[in-house]
Amino acid sequence: MSEPHRSPSPDLTSSAPLAGERVTFTGVLASMTHAQAAEIVTTLGGEASEHVSRQVTILVIGEEGWPLEDDGRPSRKLCEVRDWTSRGVMIRVLQESEFLLAAGLAQRSDEIRRLLTPAMLSQLLSVPVHVIRGWERAGLIRAARRVKRLPYFDFQEVTSARRLSELLQAGVSREEIERSLRELPAVQRGDSRPLEQLELLARDRRVIVRDHHGLREVRGQRLLDFAGEADAAARAHQPEHHEHPVTLSFLEARRRALELENRDWFVEGCRHLAEGDMEEAVEAFRLALMAEPHNPEVHFQLGDALYRLGHPRAALERFYSAVELDHDYLEAWMQIGGIHRELGEPESAIDAFSVTLDIHEDCAEVQFLLAETLAELGRATDAVPHWRAYLDCEQRGPWADLARQRLETQGESYQPVTLPL
C-alpha cells in the first residue's frame, strides 16, 4: 500500500517556526540536552518525539561529534529516517546549527561554531591539552586562527577527531567508519573533513615494531625490512671491533655527527611527545636547541616535555626562555602562570596572567584562572570582573558553571551576552 501524499513541511523561518512539525534528535547536541531541545520544540508550536515514525517531519543531528554508534555504524534514528524517506515519506534532516538558526536561537548556533583554545577544549571535552597539540602537529585538526602563537580551533573539528579516535581505539575498522561517514548529510555536502581525519588517525595506528625476525606490524603482518637487511649486510663486511678499534671509533663518531647534522631533532621531539616518550622528547629538544638556541618554540616544547616528566621548576625556566625570545608568546605566559599557581606562588601567577591579558584581553581561560587565583588570596571582589569576562566568552562546561557559582556567592548575577562568531 503506497504512503499517503504529504505536503512539504512549512518553512521553519515562518512566524510559528515549528507549528505542525514533529521533531526528533540524534547524536550528542553541542548546545543543550535532548530534554532541553524537546522543550524548545514544544514552546515553538511543534511536537518532540523520542522515536522515528512516519509522523516525524524533522530529524536534527547533534554536532558534538558524529552520530555514530559504538560499532561505527550510523545512529539507529538516522538509519530509520533513511528507510522512511526511501519509501516516500518526507523527513528533513537538519544539522543542529541549522535547527537553532531556524528556531531563532542565533546565539546558541554561534556558540557551537565557536573557536576555542587548547586549554578551553581540554576542560570542556576532557581531552588533555597535549593530546590536542599532538592532533594539530599530526594535521588532524587545524588552527582556524592564531593570536600571538596561541591557536584557536573549531569546536566541531575537534569533537570530530575525538569521536573518530574513540571508535578506532575501540577496534572499529576504518572501512566501517568511512562507510558510515559517507552516509551523513554534512559529509556529503563537504561541510567538514572527517574522511581526511580518519585517514590520518588510521595511519597513526599502524605501529611497527622490530623483533629478532625483522619488522612486523603489531597485528602480526610481516614487513620487508630493507633498512635492516642493509645494516646486516654492512655488518657482515665490517671487521671485528678488536681488529681496528681506532678506525671504527672514528667511523662511529662520523656517523653520529652526520646523524646530528641531517636529523630534524625538533620534529623528532614532537614525535616522541605524541607517543608519550617524554625522556626521548627532552633529549631530542635539547639537541634541537644546539642548532636553534634562539627558537622560542623549541624552548616551549622542551618545557612541555619537562613538565609532563614531573619537573615543573625546570619547565618554568624553559617557558621563561620562550617569552624572553618572544615576549608575546601567549601560551608560554599561560604556562608560567599555571605553574607558579601550582607551586603555591600566587603573586607570581597573577603577574604572569596579567601580562597574558595585556597581550590578549580575550584569552578566556586566563580570565578564569586569574579570578580563581585572586579569590584564593581573599580578593574575591577583584576577581568578579574576570569571572564575568570568562562567561562572556564561554558559557558551557565546568569552568562556566563554577564561574556562575562564584558570582552568586558574591551576590552578583550574570546575564549572557551574544557570543561572537
Tens digits of per-residue pLDDT, 267-289? 889 888 888 899 999 999 999 99
pLDDT for the residue numbered 3: 45
Q: Is the pLDDT of residue 242 over 50?
A: no
| Residue 18: strand, helix, or coil | coil
Closest-CA residue to 391 (of 360, 418, 357, 356): 418
Closest-CA residue to 141 (of 123, 124, 164): 164
The order of strands in the sheet holding 143-147 is 115-116, 150-154, 143-147
Q: Is the pLDDT of residue 256 over 60?
A: no
Q: Is the pLDDT of residue 260 over 80?
A: no
**Measured between alpha carbons, how far apart are the two ends of the chain, in Å?**
49
pLDDT for the residue numbered 226: 37
Share of the chain above pLDDT 90, in %: 47
Packed helices 330-342 and 346-359: angle between N→C axes, nearest 10 degrees:
160
Q: What whole-number distance in Å separates Cα of residue 383 and Cα of residue 369?
A: 10
Average pLDDT over residues 162-189: 88
Tallying the residues shown for the chain, one arrives at 421
Q: Is the pLDDT of residue 215 over 70?
A: no
Q: Would you place residue 25 in the very low, low, confident or very high pLDDT band (cuts 50, 70, 90)? A: very high
CB 192 within 8 A of CB 113: no
The pLDDT tens digits for 307-353 are 999 999 999 999 999 999 999 999 999 999 999 999 999 999 999 99
Q: Is the pLDDT of residue 246 over 70?
A: no
Q: CA dist 147 to 132, 144, 157, 283, Å?
A: 17, 10, 19, 29
Q: What whole-number distance in Å separates Cα of residue 88 and Cα of residue 95?
A: 21
Q: Is the pLDDT of residue 418 over 60?
A: no
The pLDDT tens digits for 110-139 are 666 778 899 888 888 888 888 888 888 888
Q: Who wins on pLDDT, 304 or 166?
A: 304
Q: Would you place residue 48 in the very low, low, confident or very high pLDDT band (cuts 50, 70, 90)? A: very high
| Average pLDDT of the chain, as a whole number | 81
The pLDDT tens digits for 286-299 are 999 988 899 999 99
pLDDT for the residue numbered 248: 46
Average pLDDT over residues 52-60: 94
Backbone angles phi, psi at 95, to 5 degrees: -70, 155
Q: Is the pLDDT of residue 221 over 90?
A: no
Average pLDDT over residues 386-394: 92
What does the block give as the cell for 121?
577544549
Q: Which helix (H) or strand (E) holds 299?
A: helix 296-308
Residue type, 138: A
Q: Would you place residue 234 in the very low, low, confident or very high pLDDT band (cuts 50, 70, 90)? A: very low
Name residues whose C-beta falls within 8 Å of residue 134's C-beta, 6 or more positions apart in sequence: 273, 274
pLDDT for the residue numbered 184: 85
Q: Is the pLDDT of residue 258 over 60?
A: no
Average pLDDT over residues 45-62: 93
Q: What whole-number distance in Å separates Cα of residue 406 and Cα of residue 421?
A: 27
Q: Would you place residue 257 in the very low, low, confident or very high pLDDT band (cuts 50, 70, 90)? A: low
> b/e string for 212-235 if b means 16 or more Cβ within 10 A?
eeebeeeeeeeeebeeeeeeeeee
Q: What whole-number distance in Å separates Cα of residue 51 and Cα of residue 66?
A: 19
Q: Who wins on pLDDT, 93 or 204?
A: 93
